[in-house]
Chains A and B, each alone.
Chain A
Amino acid sequence: MTQAQAFFNEMFDAGGVRGPYQQLQSWVDDMPAELRSLKQAEAEALFRRIGITFAVYGEGGDPERLMPFDMFPRVFAQDEWRRLERGIIQRAKALNAFLADVYARGEIVRAGLVPRDLVYRNEAFEPAVVGFTPPRGVFSHIVGIDLVRTGPNDFHVLEDNCRTPSGVSYMLENREIMMRLFPGLFRENRIAPVDGYSEELRRTLASVAPPKCDGEPTVVILTPGAYNSAYYEHSFLADLMGVELVEGQDLFVEGEFVWMRTTRGPQRVDVIYRRIDDAFIDPLCFRPDSMLGVPGLMDAYRSGGVTLASAPGAGVADDKAIYCFVPEMIRFYLGEEPLLQNVQTWQCARSEDLKYVLDHLPELVVKEVHGSGGYGMLVGPKSTREAREAFRARILADPGNYIAQPTLALSACPTFVNEGVAPRHVDLRPYCLVGDRVTLVPGGLTRVAMTEGSLVVNSSQGGGVKDTWVLSE
């Protein structure tokens, strides 16, 4: 039973049910098993009917997969959320200040606070935008910050996502579906709404229109296309914001501006929320084999004809090695102490760190610096000797590509499982919007590892999602 106490339980502490979860105790106690399976089936049918799927190609079977949805909500009290919110907004501001700095004078590097090579020799550093300041100095307009909780007041940032964090459609749809399935819960609890997100996103994007834009800016979302795994999200957001969802082939550059091909001829585009990686957005500037981008886009961007969100080069701030320096950024640019903690991180590029990591592999989580989606990582305590030895060889072959962190005791939230309700580990991704102001809707995406004991919450690794509540009293 010592295992059970090794992590923070979001719903129960020594004194019984924690405040924010009070109402849910009777809800789950009073729910007969049949009703539960009925509701679960209803939820799945809704997801399928609405078409909320993510695509997995190349594995055989039906490419349109459902994200496992757990009906047990994850709840924050108002005061818990206020603290988190301040920390997230602080971090989003610092990350943007860092980006504006490293593509300009690089004061933080000159001050010796961040190693020169880590910035300027970083794969994600984009020489093509050095010296260019995007509208309002904002590089990362949507910052997704992955958080884990280890205690009542202990939140750690696992990683920052400054490019195109995905998953916000689940935050919105999970709420819609919960409201349809359990309207009573929403009458009994005062749950802050999240549906202001799309309007705030549209406003944020319009607020960073380029200087050459006169009048109401035309905003579009640029998608790689219907076969992208996040296509549903792209079309969902376009629909909610009432903007066109375009592919590279729908756009062209002429006379310093970007135009979209419409049935009445070309129409000018001012702000592009692009869900395509830097490398693919302009075959003339980056990968020449890209069919997804728009030739000449970077020229239009640099001459102030169009705004790209996020700005090319924003990825240098969310690198797992740069991550270690975010607390320094907060102190340097904002003159504040960080409100959210980083996780202790060993960088294998440093020889003393490398030695420690290799000596302690069974206790650590080792990740690739540019990895994502839960791929290419080693969870020490859950690994076999063979897996560790294989990973050791990979680290030694390219130490600079790896970082390691202690295995955190992720908090657990009650989750519906076959046997009833049991704790499963969760994380949290809130979405912070940065434009003329910095805002955060009260909520986020809670991902849950559906397998008992598992700490990996990524959907590509069998993770699920939950509705995330912020109580508003």
Chain B
Amino acid sequence: MLSRTAANLYWMGRYMERAETAARLLQVGERMSLIPSTGAGHRSEWVPLLQANGSFQTFEAKYRDPVQRNVESFMFFDHDNPGSVAACIAAARENGRIVRTALTSQVWDALNTAFQELKALERTERSELPLTRLTDWTLRNTALVRGSIAATQLRNDGHDFLNIGYLLERADNTARLMDVKYFVLLPRVDFVGSGLDNYQWTTLLRALSAHRAFHWAYGGEVTASKIAHFLILNRQSPRSLLTSVQGVNDHLNRLSHGYGRAGRPQATVRKLLGELAELRIDEVFDEGLHEFLTRFIHEIAELGDAIFDAYLSGDAR
């Protein structure tokens, strides 16, 4: 297929996943803001979200005050913020529009309907749009697009690129969501292991729609180490780093079989997968969760570069 088409599909996947993450981040923020202040008082519960998302400085320059309404504007509606739900859905839809011919009508319909509804939301009075409605709307629509892809797209190379986009973004985003914990805890390390600490971890699970799943998988007490294991190394957890990287690996293998050749993307993902497969969770904490996640995000970006060079740039020979 055309390299440009593959690139459009890949970015469509990435933007849809990113829109979903923005909505999940908003959910985390709202739940965290509902618990009594930690007493430190000088930090808004919303700031860590923006920090983890890498957009705090952009936010502060434009809105200054990190209150819920401003964060909602920034993370849901603001087209100047490339990570907002609105910007991501518009970008995903634009990528999809360019490659209409590579999508089934059902996928296009789901994507285009989300975009048309978004425009209607943008025209609605904000007082009629509680945050839960915005986040529910986003999760429902991203699920519709993903479901249409799973149900109707041909399992060809386009399907691989679409999924690689989704999975790479998911790996990156799960890492970033976990990093929110790091930013929340930064001021007072002595909270670790406290009731508050567990509350925040639980909130994170909820945001990943994995609260129940976690209990089914582990049972018993919620601990930082179990949750980190669940989100990093558990092969059953649909959003864990290992599951996401495994998925990228599978799709890259399909591509190398189909095209009859493998290259740097396959080598890069195999190395990353090998490392994760042998990792134990106490090693993650020995390295430092934040340090580990930073390194992981960096490696995911490198994998993205390798995929771009090999398939999406159009320079492959």
Contacts and interface: CB of A to CB of B under 8 A. Distances in A.
Contacts of B315: 261
A265 B101 contact: no
Contacts of B317: 265-266
Most chain B CB within 10 A, of A245, A247, A262, is at A262
A417 B42 CA distance: 64
B116 A48 contact: yes
A313 B113 CA distance: 42
Contact of B100 (A239, A261, A265): A239
A51 B3 contact: no
Interface in B89-125: 94, 97-98, 100-101, 105, 108-109, 112-113, 116
B157 A263 contact: yes
B1 interface: yes
B216 interface: no
Nearest to B119: A62
Chain B contact patch, size range: 20 to 34
B98 A261 contact: no
B1 A263 contact: yes
B196 interface: no
B166 interface: no
B4 A235 contact: no
A464 to B, nearest CB: 22
B314 interface: yes
Contacts of A239: 100-101
A180 to B, nearest CB: 13
Nearest to B101: A239
A235 B316 CA distance: 25
A249 B4 contact: yes
Interface in B46-84: none
Nearest to B115: A51
Given A235-B101, A239-B100, A245-B101, A263 B112 contact: no
A187 B5 CA distance: 40
B311 interface: yes
Given A247-B4, A250-B2, A262-B3, A238 B101 contact: yes
Residue among B3, B112, B157, B161 facing the most chain A CB atoms (10 A cut-off): B3
Contacts, number: 60
Question: Which interface residue of B94, B101, B109 has the most chain A CB atoms within 10 A?
Answer: B101
Interface of B is mostly: helix
B94 A263 contact: no
Interface in A37-81: 48-51
A261 B3 contact: yes
Interface string B253-272: 00100010000000000000
Contact of A265 (B97, B112, B161, B316): B316
Contacts of B3: 250, 261-263
Interface in A226-267: 226, 235-236, 238-239, 244-247, 249-250, 260-266
A244 B97 contact: no
B101 A250 contact: no
Interface residues on chain A, size class: 20 to 34
A264 B316 contact: yes
Contacts of A245: 101
A237 B187 CA distance: 59
Interface in B1-15: 1-6
A263 B259 contact: yes
Given A48-B116, A51-B112, A260 B97 contact: no
Contacts of B100: 51, 235-236, 239
Contacts of B116: 48-49
Contacts of B2: 244, 246, 250, 260-263
A15 B32 CA distance: 79
Contacts of B108: 51
A49 B312 CA distance: 29
Contacts of A48: 116
A245 B101 CA distance: 8
B109 A261 contact: no
A262 B310 CA distance: 10
B101 A264 contact: no
Given A49-B112, A263-B259, A266-B317, A226 B98 contact: yes
Nearest to A232: B100
Nearest to B316: A265
B236 to A, nearest CB: 32
A244 B101 CA distance: 8
A260 B1 CA distance: 9
A238 to B, nearest CB: 5
Contacts of B4: 246-247, 249-250, 261
B3 to A, nearest CB: 5
Interface in B291-317: 311-312, 314-317
Contacts of A250: 2-4, 314
Nearest to A220: B2
A48 B97 CA distance: 13
Nearest to B4: A250
A140 B270 CA distance: 53
B97 A49 contact: no
Given A48-B116, A226-B94, A250-B314, A262 B1 contact: yes
Interface string A252-286: 00000000111111100000000000000000000
> 5 closest A-B pairs (Cβ-Cβ)?
A261-B314, A239-B101, A235-B100, A263-B311, A226-B98
13 contacts: A49-B116, A50-B105, A51-B97, A51-B100, A51-B108, A235-B100, A246-B4, A249-B4, A250-B4, A262-B2, A262-B314, A263-B1, A263-B259
Interface of A: 48-51, 226, 235-236, 238-239, 244-247, 249-250, 260-266
Given A226-B98, A245-B101, 16 more contacts: A49-B112, A49-B116, A51-B108, A226-B94, A244-B5, A246-B4, A250-B4, A250-B314, A261-B3, A263-B3, A263-B6, A263-B157, A263-B312, A264-B316, A265-B317, A266-B317
